[in-house]
Amino acid sequence: MPRPTPGRRPLGRQGLMVSSMGLGCMGMSFGYGKVDERQAVATIDRALELGVTFLDTSDHYGPRTNEELLGRALAGRRDEVQLATKFGSYSPDAPPRVPDGRPEHVRRAIDASLWRLGVDHVDLYYQHRVDPQVPIEDTVGAMAELVTAGKVRYLGLSEASARTIRRANAVHPISAVQSEYSLWSRDVEAEVLPVLAELGIGFVPYSPLGRGFLTGAIASPEDLAPQDFRRVAPRFAQENFARNAALVERVKLVAASRGITAAQVALAWVAASVPGAVAIPGTTKPERVAENVAALEIELTEDDLRGLDEAFPPGAAQGERYPPPMMALLNG
């Protein structure tokens, strides 16, 4: 039986077409511990083989080293992918953990990213975190100049509020908004998703597997590598772990009843909850790419969806998504 492969779908109304599932590349260089580059490249190769051509990175990841990795992995293959990167969370001339949305930084950041990636343009350029000190109109105005210059094809925002999205879109059409979204992170449902639907902006959920928690594969915080970011993430903290693990039992029950994996249940729930969204689950293992792609063929029943929604109402997870300094960077 042939393996399922992602089709293509539009992100936004401006013409950007991407694979119906993407690949988040952050973990290949950043956040979850050391990864062998050969394994990372093999994962990217497997993604392309399976039709996953929408690749997501950022100058923050590493910092910088994830873009360099993609540049090496994609040498000679630029036309096979839709490449998305971000700026503004990392800035060499700003204090740590301070977003930088100044127009002059926008212009410098894209040139540096293009050099690291070894390409002459990116398909989608996101502001990674909104800078509260710079009007969004100024930042997006500078991003729009990059479209005119041919360095960027389409514009996006990451973790932006509904109000910010409206203001940004009034300056230049925004093709996509990226935000964390999964069974245990449903904050965008109240205000952001309705605005995206109204304005015709695509939605790109990141961490749709709850940073791996929803797969049921993490039995204890001690399973995480010493340098793994999740060791300081509140939802993985010892005092919250058992409560959140109990929630995941419902995902495992649905998976067992359908003969699929918990990860596939979590991805199928995202697809059913926001039709047309392009999730970007991250992985560093080629076999996990195939497992994730297979989730595109899974349709959860109404009973499945009802049970998951009852188990995971908004706010069900115990603990914030990020430690306090990182939560402060989110655009409220």
- Active site amino acids: 61
Q: What is the pLDDT of residues 238-287, one digit of tens each?
A: 999 999 999 999 999 999 999 999 999 999 999 999 999 999 999 999 99
Q: Is residue 319 part of a domain?
A: no
Total Cβ atoms within 10 A of residue 167:
15
3 state DSSP class of 196:
helix
Tokens of 111: 């040139």
Longest pairwise C-alpha distance within the chain: 55
Look at residue 325 and tell me if it is in a domain.
no
Is 82 a member of any domain? yes
Q: Are 24 and 56 in contact (CB under 8 A)?
A: yes
**Which helix (H) or strand (E) covers residue 16, if one does?**
strand 16-19
Query: Within a domain: residue 28?
Result: yes
Residue 154 has pLDDT above 80, yes or no: yes
Token representation of residue 213: 């928690």
202 lies in which domain range? Answer: 8-210+273-298
- What's the pLDDT band for 95 if we cut at 50, 70, 90? low
For residue 185 the two structure tokens come to 């992170």
Name which of 210, 205, 183 is nearest 193 in CA terms: 205
Does residue 316 fall inside a structural domain?
A: no
In a domain, 171, yes or no: yes
- And the tokens for 264? 């596939």
β-sheet bridge partners, residue 204: 178
Find all residues with CB under 8 Å of 80, minimum gap 6, and list them.
48, 53, 74
200 and 175 Cβ atoms separated by less than 8 Å:
no
Q: How much is the average pLDDT of 27-47? A: 93
If one counts the domains in the chain, the total is 1
Instruction: Map residue 33 onto helix, strand or coil.
Output: coil
Q: Is residue 15 part of a domain?
A: yes
DSSP type of residue 10: E
In this structure, is residue 167 part of a structural domain? Answer: yes
State the CATH number of the domain containing residue 196: 3.20.20.100
Strands 8-11 and 16-19: antiparallel
pLDDT at 1: 40
- pTM, full prediction: 0.95
